[in-house]
Amino acid sequence: MGKAQIWLIRTYWDFEFPRPLLPNFEFVGGLHCKPAKPLPKEMEEFVQSSGENGIVVFTLGSMIKTMPEERANTIASALAQIPQKVLWRFDGKKPDTLGPNTRLYKWIPQNDLLGHPKTKAFVTHGGTNGIYEAIHHGIPMVGIPLFGDQPDNIAHMKTKGAAVSLDFHTMSSTDLLNALRMVINDTS
């Protein structure tokens, strides 16, 4: 590693906080981003049924398989109160407070949903891929970081005005509802 002539950094300089770097560092954040592809038919029909309200894409990443039932109900309760349709990547017991506007999926085509013209917001754990896909498609975020680089990623997005941050363990339904309303309704 000491003989490397170039270092490719999986972020982008304008989303970083100022720090000194050597001249052989090249930023390649967002290199994986690509245009959205068409959605599966059933998913597209659900998205189109949102009308002018649009949709919210919700995923806490592929590492999260389950969450406490109380947390799932807190989240579902908030999602049930927004006029948008919600596509939630969730693989657990269906929350009791799930609203008719929310569909649960074990897998979602994240980039394709973020690139859909009806997408209004992205609720994310703050993984690097999702962050850059949201930036690429111009979608504001509600960040709920869980571990690893996620808190730092969301802190960067919050500082740049692209996200609102919540704590997974302490957020209430009202907190999530207010954060969603803020990012969906704030046009700046």
Q: H/E element holding 129?
A: helix 128-137
Residue 115 lies in a domain: yes
Q: What is the mean pLDDT of residues 66-84?
A: 95
Residue 166 confidence (pLDDT): 98
Helix (H) or strand (E) holding 173: helix 173-185
- Look at residue 34 and tell me if it is in a domain: no
Strands 141-143 and 163-165: parallel
Where residue 171 sits, what CATH number does that domain have? 3.40.50.2000
Helices 69-79, 173-185: crossing angle, 10 deg rounding? 40
Token code pair at residue 32: 């994986």
pLDDT in tens, 16-26: 778 888 888 88
Q: Which amino acid makes up residue 61? A: G
Domain that holds residue 77: 41-185
Residue 36 domain flag: no
Contact 179, 164 (CB under 8 A): yes
Please state, in angstroms and rounded to a whole number, the distance separating the CA atoms of residues 56 and 20.
37
Give mean pLDDT, residues 55-62. 94
Percentage of the chain exceeding pLDDT 90: 75
Tell me if 53 is assigned to some domain: yes
Counting the structural domains of the chain, the total is 1
Residue 74 lies in a domain: yes
* Confidence band of 51 (pLDDT split at 50, 70, 90): very high
pLDDT at 180 > cutoff 90: yes
